[in-house]
Each structure stands twice: as C-alpha cells, then as structure tokens.
Amino acid sequence: MSKLTPEGFLTLSQAADTLAVALHGGIPDRDAVRLLRERGYDLADGTAFDEAIRVLWAAVDRGKLQSFAVGPKAKVRSNCLQISRKQFRLYVARAGAH
C-alpha cells in the first residue's frame, strides 16, 4: 500500500477493479475488448470499471459502504478514496448473492 492508503483499506480504483470482475465474471467480453486482447493488448473493460464505480458510489449513498479521503497536508485528492477491505468483501459477497 502507498503512504496514503492505510493498511486494511482499498482505494476507489482497487475496489472498482475487484468489483468489475465480480459483476462481469462469466460474461463474454465486449467485441471491442475481445478484438484488442486478441491483438495482444493487456487491458481492462472501461465500461465495466465505470459501472463498478457507479455501484460503489451508490452503495456509499445508501450507507452500505463508508468512504473517506486522505491527502497530503490536508489537500483532499479524489483518487485516494478509501474503503475498508473487510467492509468491501462483505458488500461484494452480498451483491454477488443476488
């Protein structure tokens, strides 16, 4: 973890990467993603990542997840939103049960 990410927490990006896999696991890649992967590119599906971000913020809005921001010298950086790993695992487990 970086200096700004406390032990036991995930950044928003890390949480979205994990949730995107959980939401889209077993679903075939979109044609554009499949084509680029066949050409040797190592990439993630931006649409799946964006959806995961929306799902995470919706969970925060509903009070299912708590987030907080940290930054150097009291400057808040939006890419440093933190989510507890334990809280996130519970949320993903519940979301996958539907």
**pLDDT one-digit tens code per residue, 65-89:** 888 776 665 554 444 455 666 666 6
Decide if 17 is inside a domain: yes
The count of structural domains within the chain is 1
Does any domain span residue 4?
no
Lowest mean pLDDT among 34-43, 51-60, 74-83, 89-98: 74-83
1 within some domain? no
Q: How far apart are the first and last CA of the chain?
A: 31
Cβ(59)–Cβ(16) below 8 Å: no
Token digits of residue 5:
């990410």
Please check whether residue 31 lies inside any domain of the structure: yes
Q: Reduced to 3 states, what is the DSSP secondary structure of residue 39?
A: coil
| Amino acid type, 30 | R
Domain hosting 23: range is 9-96
Residue 3 lies in a domain: no
Residue 81 inside a domain? The answer is yes
Determine the pLDDT at residue 38. 93
Domain presence at residue 86: yes
